[in-house]
A and B are shown apart, each in its own frame.
Chain A
Amino acid sequence: GNSVTQMEGPVTLSEEAFLTINCTYTATGYPSLFWYVQYPGEGLQLLLKATKADDKGSNKGFEATYRKETTSFHLEKGSVQVSDSAVYFCALSPSPLGAGSYQLTFGKGTKLSVIP
């Protein structure tokens, strides 16, 4: 079946540090890949996405590149801020032509804390 593996947290960084959160996936076909973010006390919201190999998703200074050869979709940001403190979830949606395309599969989440 489909699965997403994220690096274990929590991750604690100083403000302006470089961020990488690793994400690898297992899926058949050509899934779409996503990063969702959950700020304290809120539901999740989409941060960025990529729908095919070598696509780069970007938003709010965050980037992730869909690497089919390594089945990865690592999240990066060059300079984190205190306001980036949240839980980050990597997710995949199966190939749109396959069964279960409404079943988004999430990783376990990585908690990021940014200290001033």
Chain B
Amino acid sequence: DGGITQSPKYLFRKEGQNVTLSCEQNLNHDAMYWYRQDPGQGLRLIYYSQIVNDFQKGDIAEGYSVSREKKESFPLTVTSAQKNPTAFYLCASSRGSPTNEKLFFGSGTQLSVL
């Protein structure tokens, strides 16, 4: 089945530690995205990538980093510089611009700070 796989489902971070969230898609989509979801805040865009080997900052990129070395993979690293990382993280992909192509979402990773 085609889709987006996020792992792990739950992740715990210690103070000062970097953690990496995995996102893999087998939909052959060019564009991939990372969103952060906080209760009562909706979704906010962290980073997006229109095509492999290219990515741009979204609205809340500080304290996060990404890479897009392969078309199917878009890992997100939450660095120690992110002071409030506890949130639900959603990865998404689309064939092209979301103006014309719908986003497909993974089932998310819940990150908590120990």
Task: Provide the bound-state CA to CA distance between A29 and B26, in Å.
Answer: 34
Q: Is the CB of A51 within 8 A of B99?
A: yes
Task: Provide the bound-state CA to CA distance between A94 and B100, in Å.
Answer: 11
**In the complex, chain A residues 73-93 whose Cβ is within 8 Å of any chain B Cβ:** 89, 93
Q: Using C-beta atoms within 8 Å of the partner chain, give the interface range for chain A.
A: 20 to 34
Q: Is the CB of B97 within 8 A of A102?
A: yes
> In the complex, how many residues of chain B place their beta carbon closer than 8 angstroms to a beta carbon of chain A?
28
Q: Does A115 lie at the interface of the complex (its beta carbon under 8 Å from any beta carbon of B)? A: no
Task: Provide the bound-state CA to CA distance between A45 and B92, in Å.
Answer: 10
Which of B4, B42, B45 gathers most chain A CB within 10 Å?
A: B42
Evaluate whether A96 and B102 lie within 8 angstroms (CB atoms) in the complex, with A43-B4, A103-B48, A107-B42 already known. Answer: no
Q: Chain A interface: which of B63-71, B79-87, B103-111?
A: B103-111
Cβ–Cβ < 8 Å partners of B40 in chain A: 108
Q: Does A17 lie at the interface of the complex (its beta carbon under 8 Å from any beta carbon of B)? A: no
Q: Does B16 lie at the interface of the complex (its beta carbon under 8 Å from any beta carbon of A)? A: no
A18-49 toward B: CB 8 Å interface, digit per residue (1/0)?
A: 00000000000000101010000111111001
Task: Provide the bound-state CA to CA distance between A96 and B97, in Å.
Answer: 8
What residues of chain B have their CB less than 8 Å away from a CB belonging to chain A?
Answer: 4, 31, 33, 35, 40-45, 48, 50, 56, 58-59, 90, 92, 97-100, 102-108
What residues of chain A have their CB less than 8 Å away from a CB belonging to chain B?
Answer: 32, 34, 36, 41-46, 49, 51, 89, 93-96, 101-104, 106-109
30 A–B contacts from the bound complex (CB under 8 Å): A36-B103, A41-B107, A42-B107, A43-B90, A43-B92, A43-B105, A43-B106, A43-B108, A44-B92, A44-B103, A44-B105, A45-B104, A46-B102, A46-B103, A49-B102, A51-B99, A51-B100, A94-B99, A95-B99, A96-B99, A101-B97, A103-B45, A103-B48, A103-B58, A103-B59, A104-B98, A106-B42, A106-B43, A108-B41, A108-B42
